[in-house]
Amino acid sequence: MESFNVVETLQPAERALFWVGALITASLALWLLYKIITGFRIWVLGNGDLLSPKLGKWAVVTGATDGIGKSYAEELARRGFSMMLISRSQEKLDDVAKSLESAYNVETKTIAVDYGQADIYPKIEKGLAGLEIGVLVNNVGISYSYPEFFLHIPDLENFITTMINVNITSVCQMTRLVLPRMEARAKGVILNISSASGMFPVPMLTIYSSTKAFVDFFSRGLQAEYKCKGIIIQSVLPFFVATKMTKIRKPTLDKPTPERYVAAELTTVGLQDQTNGYFPHAVMGWVTTVVAPIKLVLCLGLRMNKAQRGGYLRRRKLR
């Protein structure tokens, strides 16, 4: 009778485990190599000369007088686009238009409208008539004055309507006005400025976060519809940028100036359908949506916004 040999019995299992481990290791190595090459392509090489007046003579920027919108207008004018600037204040529009004309020798037009109102789009349509539009930047947006619980938001009914009109309706309506001409020419770029707040729920900024999530979903859905027609529709999800809306005065590596952010973001157009636009923000986006559990993200967001709310209310009482 042959004796039972444990080593010989386990050898097939050992070989199988070895090949499974080798396959997993090789797969991870290939995945890492792919990510490194893709990251180098996006964040180092960029998209070259994709964004140029070859797409169409005019670029349209909403919310063009401050912050990120103004920086988009400046960068697109630098690239040679004639600029259609849309914002609420005619005085500020005139200042930005004169600055662009002087610095970049480009043609400018302006339309003064309040995106909080729903009856403005016939005026915008008339202003855009006859323009060969290559780029639309749907940038206009509003947020909270300070983080607040839903039912404690001052003038809640009007706040809801205004937030939806500015952050959601404007994106849909501006796209409705511009997209048909892009489709007819089979080229064009639409950049919809969402927010990292739209990547996950943000307690005490709940309405803002939800409207920005809509912008992200809207953009990605349209990109799937129109990519085959030669049109790029990109969802842009920045974290904090040093602007008037964020109330950040001192830029840092993770909180760049609008100029630095826009210069980085425009290099991703045509390479990413959904982008955080700036490499440190891309790392932050990966951590908050892939690595960190959503319950932890919600908990930290709630804690941070409660602290900001308390500080704001204390400062207001001291005035």
Share of the chain above pLDDT 90, in %: 80
Q: How confident is the model at residue 1 (pLDDT cuts 50, 70, 90)?
A: very low
Given a contact cutoff of 8 angstroms between Cβ atoms, the answer to whether 62 and 137 are in contact is yes
Share of the chain above pLDDT 70, in %: 96
Distance CA 78, CA 106 (A): 9
| Measured torsion, CA atoms of residues 275, 277, 280, 283, in degrees rounded to the nearest 10 | 0
- Averaged pLDDT, 41-69: 91
Bridge partner list, 87 = 112
Q: How confident is the model at residue 7 (pLDDT cuts 50, 70, 90)?
A: low
**What residue type is assigned to position 229 of the chain?**
K
Q: What does pTM read for this prediction?
A: 0.89
Q: Annotate 220-242 with b (16+ C-beta within 10 A) or e (fewer).
A: bebbeebeeeebbbbbbbbbbbb
Burial label for 29, CB within 10 Å (0-12, 13-18, 19+), is exposed
pLDDT tens string 167-222? 999 999 999 999 999 999 999 999 999 999 999 999 999 999 999 999 999 999 99
pLDDT tens string 150-175? 999 999 999 999 999 999 999 999 99
Q: Which domains does the chain have, with CATH numbers?
A: 54-318 (3.40.50.720)
Answer yes or no: is pLDDT of 71 > 70: yes
Point out the residues that are catalytic.
Answer: 208
Residue 204 CB contacts under 8 Å (≥ 6 apart), including other chains? 144, 147, 148, 149, 301, 302, 305, 306, 309
**What residue type is assigned to position 36 of the chain?**
I
Residue 159's pLDDT is: 97
Q: In what order do the strands lie in the sheet with 58-62?
A: 108-112, 82-87, 58-62, 133-138, 188-193, 231-236, 274-275
